[in-house]
Amino acid sequence: MEKIRVFLRWMSIDPRHPEIAQAQYNELKTQIPSLYALLMVNAIAVAYTHYDVAPVYLTVGVLVPMLILTSIRMVAWIRARHVTLGPEDAIRKMRQTVILGSVMAVIYISWSLSLDGYGGPEERGHVALFIAITVIGCIFCLMNLPQAAFAVMFIVTVPYLVYYIGQDQDVYFAIAMNIFLVCLVVMQVLISGYRGFCKLVQSQSDLAAKQKETERLNAENARLAQTDALTDLPNRRYFFNRLETLIANLEGNETKFAVGVVDLDRFKPINDTYGHQLGDQLLMEVGSRLQKLGAERNIEVCRLGGDEFGFLYQGNTDEAAGTGQAICDLITEPYKIGDLTLTVGASCGIAVYPEAGKSAHALFDRSDYALYNSKTTSRGHTTVYSEEHEARIRSERAIETALQKADLDTEFQVYFQPVVSLPDQSVVGFEALARWHSPVLKNVPPDRFIAVAERTGQINRLTMSLFDKAVRQIKELPGDLSLSFNLSAQDITSAVTVHALLDAIERHGVNPRLITFEITETSVIGSYEVAEECLQTLRGAGVKLALDDFGTGYSSLGYLHRLPIDCVKVDRSFVAGIHEPVASGVITSIINLCRSMEMLCVVEGVEDRTQLELLSALRCNLVQGYHFAPPLPFDRIMESARANGTVEGLSLSSADGMEELRLSSA
């Protein structure tokens, strides 16, 4: 029963293998026309030999409609050669072919056998041969549709055999039997060939499917390789690939576009305070906001890494700054993460192609430079790279070159600015400030060359040379005066430099308590953990630490608590505005803060008497500024100290009393 069901399913063309059916049909298309041609030629030959012996209605009357029907089918198949059918249509067409083939077989076998009654042994022999040859020919032509081949064979050979058995003629019976057996063998061969064909098609289609899957995986891998896993935005690789493609497409064209870099402000403290997981969540939120904005405004936004994002803007470049600002403003809106409401800032730098650069790296560097400008001079805003920046870069390059060739011993000097205690107005120590007289560039201001030395990795060498000079000179002054020395971010994150500084202190035999290293919040923020370790080492050796430019950076109270700080230096911008309530309020609260934490507090930039009086009223006890003395060369200080024990008219006292100057609520 099961076998019959399988056989019937096979005969009706199994629809479960559409790819095989389609391949079968494609092969069949090319063979069926030959089948019909063979059929017609053979039939005409039989009709011809029987023309004289059989009735005309049989030789001509029946043959002609048969030939017409056969030709119509043949033409239909020839036309079908150029038509590609889908699997479903191919299956339908093949089912039709099985049925039609069976009908044709019935017609042809009936016609041939009806002719057998006429003529002598030769004519009868011709009929037997016609049937035999034609059926084998047809089976061969139908080898790609074995179902039809089987039907035709069955419909032809069985009646053929039965007919000759009925005739009781041994020779014809033997021929019929022979043909039947040959057909069986041929069918067996065809079916095994057909199985091979099916296997081949199946393996080809498996291979194609595998190839398709591989292609899909490759495409997916390529997408992932260009996607940032955290934010799902395109990543840095995509950004540069896209930038390069854009430039290649626009070469020789007038079209402009803008490259932007956006960096979050205050992300680091959030990460440090709330942990990396929350930091990641925040970045994801930022990413999803930017993705939305990008889609709305047709900007390609990417995450370049850390808290840095990049974008490509192909609209009107005059509006690029506005776009950058829209991004910054969007990032600045508060975030609700769990129970927390957080805010971060964002600054942006933009470079426009082709003015700012014609290569991906040039454009990126310029937008990064513009970003650096936003970060240092106008946080939260957007800077577009300009001619002015170009000139600045050129002068920085000149500084860089001169610095590389500079003789640190002869070209660099340390100037000393007195730190004055109030109310007695005596000098308790000095802040060492670097001066460079380059034979090529003449006098270069310290904030310029320090920044270049930091960027080019020459700062540690410079720090060591300057510190050595400063310690050597301060030692020559009478009394125990304190020395404040500025350190850069790279200094306080390098264990080697920290140990070299302590070595120098020991080598010169200076009391470490007289040394204060000044650091800024920004220099600590970059790599907090390493910096903290180095600062603890310094503090452990007995030197003091001061937080410089306080009030201008993050002024995060967290840092005051977490870092081993002894002293806060109030930035001079507050003294400059001391007549305004905001600035004087800031100074008052910093002084109060230092008082409650029992820290030293130096107010910088005191330039006139009224400022001094206002500060005295706030019970400020350490000051620095042009009102007392500018930074002076060592010789000048040494001279007047030797002559009358003063500097710019201020008496030199000792740093011994410094500890008492720690502001205390008492």
Least distance to ligand C2E, CB of residue 549, Å: 6
Q: Closer CB to ligand C2E, residue 234 or residue 605?
A: 605
* DSSP-assigned beta bridge partners for residue 432: 416, 485
Q: Are 553 and 535 in contact (CB under 8 A)?
A: no
CA distance 308 to 303: 6
Distance CA 515, CA 215 (A): 66
The per-residue DSSP string of 553-575 comes to S---HHHHHHS---EEEE-HHHH
The option from Ca ion, ligand C2E, none interacting with 607 (CB < 5 to 8 A, set by class) reads: ligand C2E
Give the residue with the Cβ less far from ligand C2E, 105 or 434: 434
Is residue 572 at the binding interface for ligand C2E, with CB under 6 A as the rule? yes
Output phi, psi for 314, to 5 deg.
-105, 10
Please tell me whether residue 468 binds Ca ion under the rule CB under 5 A.
no
By CB under 5 A, tell whether 486 contacts Ca ion.
Answer: yes
Residue 381 near residue 347 (C-beta atoms within 8 A): yes
Catalytic residue among 116, 263, 265, 307: 307
18 in contact with ligand C2E (CB under 6 A)? no
Of 158-166, 279-287, 333-341, 511-519, which part binds Ca ion (CB under 5 A)? 511-519
User: Binders of ligand C2E among 544-563, rule CB under 6 A?
Assistant: 548-549
Could you tell me which residues are beta bridge partners of residue 262?
309, 348
Task: Name the residue type at position 35.
Answer: L
Stretch that binds ligand C2E, among 131-139, 185-193, 261-269, 618-626 (CB under 6 A): 618-626
Segment interacting with ligand C2E (CB under 6 A) among 96-104, 367-375, 603-611, 639-647: 603-611
Binder of Ca ion out of 548, 551, 601, 612 (CB under 5 A): 548
Out of 74, 183, 487, 652, which residue is the one contacting ligand C2E (CB under 6 A)?
487
Residue number with CB closer to ligand C2E (131 or 419): 419
Residue placing its CB nearer to ligand C2E in the complex, 164 or 574: 574
Comparing C-alpha atoms, which of 474, 479, 505 is closest to residue 637?
474
Q: Given the structure tokens 């999803």, which residue do they identify?
A: 288
CA-based torsion, 130, 136, 137, 141: positive or negative: positive
Q: Is 159 in the site for ligand C2E (CB under 6 A)?
A: no
Rounded to 5°, the CA angle 178-182-186 comes to: 170
Nearer to Ca ion among residue 307 and residue 549 (C-beta): 549
Which regions of 80-209 does DSSP assign to beta strands (E)?
none
In the complex, the smallest distance separating the C-beta of residue 575 from ligand C2E, rounded to whole angstroms, is 8
DSSP string of 213-282, one letter each residue:
HHHHHHHHHHHHHTB-TTT-SB-HHHHHHHHHHHHHHHTTS---EEEEEEEEESHHHHHHHH-HHHHHHH
Phi and psi, residue 212, nearest 5°: -65, -45
The residue assigned the tokens 């089918």 is 73
> Exactly one of 549, 600, 622, 632 binds Ca ion (CB under 5 A); which one?
549
Tell me if 356 sits within 8 A of 344, measured CB to CB. Answer: no
Q: Which stretch binds ligand C2E (CB under 6 A): 55-63, 219-227, 509-517, 623-631?
A: 623-631
Ranges within 491-550 binding ligand C2E (CB under 6 A): 518, 548-549
Q: Which does 433 bind (CB under 5 to 8 A by kind): ligand C2E, Ca ion, none?
A: ligand C2E
Residue 572: CB minimum distance to Ca ion, A: 7
Q: Name which position in 111, 498, 605, 615 contacts ligand C2E (CB under 6 A).
A: 605
* Binding characters for ligand C2E, 227-256, by CB under 6 A (x = yes): ------------------------------
What amino acid occupies position 132?
A
Using the contact rule CB under 5 A, the part of the chain among 155-163, 196-204, 264-272, 546-554 near Ca ion is 546-554
- DSSP secondary-structure letter at 386? -
Residue whose C-alpha is closest to residue 287's, from 340, 232, 325:
232
- Reply yes or no on whether 232 is catalytic: no
Q: Residue 73 or residue 572: which is nearer to ligand C2E going by CB?
A: 572
Pairing of strands 622-623, 600-603: parallel
Q: Quick one: which H or E segment has residue 44?
A: helix 18-50
- Residue whose token pair is 């003294």: 575
Residues 624-653 that bind ligand C2E (CB under 6 A): 624-626, 631
Nearer to ligand C2E, 480 or 571 (CB): 571
Query: Which residues are part of the catalytic machinery?
Result: 307
The residues of the shown chain that bind ligand C2E, judged by CB under 6 A, are 417, 433-434, 445-447, 450, 466, 486-488, 518, 548-549, 572, 605-607, 624-626, 631
The residues of the shown chain that bind Ca ion, judged by CB under 5 A, are 486, 518, 548-549
